[in-house]
Amino acid sequence: MGETEAPKRVKRWPVLAGVGVVVAAAAWWIVDEMPTVDDAVVRDALPPIDEHLRANAWTGVLADSGFTDVRWVCTRKVIETRPDGERVKVGLVANCDEVAREGGGLVTGSGFRQPMVYLVERSQDGYRVLDRELAKDGTAYSPSVKAMFSWMGARRVLDGSSPEDPATVAPAAFGLPDGTPVRARR
């Protein structure tokens, strides 16, 4: 009979090197796609964004119910900032409640939680709001979020990334101390 042949041995190092290259490339792509937040832009652009957000909310249930000092109180979670030429897109999720004073406390009425992307531009006086895009309702919600945000930013929004409850900052918005009761209107 003949000699038995030794099984062909596959060299492992080229396979491991190939796997390492694929893993490194995937990691680089994921890190490159991670939504980034430019803290300086956020610090300077949020005041005009907040003003625009409150000024462009709809008239809620408290406005027509006899309360004299009704305000929109909002919290927001910035998801990403993306340069757009000389402008910047600020993608965020806003959580807003209509709030009014009632006796020694506060009462909330209408409210919304909404993903949105603001287009802002630096001017001599800081940033100014040029445009705002809102996520659509119903079956168009997910596709609109995916169109508005980067891939990873959309994932964060769709996975439920959300700001604090506006009730946590409502007392301060009215100049009231922490612990002031905030209740939903019945």
* Secondary structure of residue 102 in the 3-state scheme: strand
CB of 41 closer than 8 Å to CB of 84:
no
* Secondary structure of residue 26 in the 3-state scheme: helix
The pLDDT profile of the chain, 186 residues, written as one tens digit per residue, is 555 555 556 566 666 666 665 555 555 554 445 558 889 999 999 999 999 988 877 778 888 888 888 999 999 999 999 988 889 999 999 999 999 999 889 999 999 999 999 999 988 888 999 999 999 999 999 999 999 999 999 999 999 888 999 999 999 999 999 999 999 987
* Secondary structure of residue 1 in the 3-state scheme: coil
Domains of the chain by residue range = 36-184
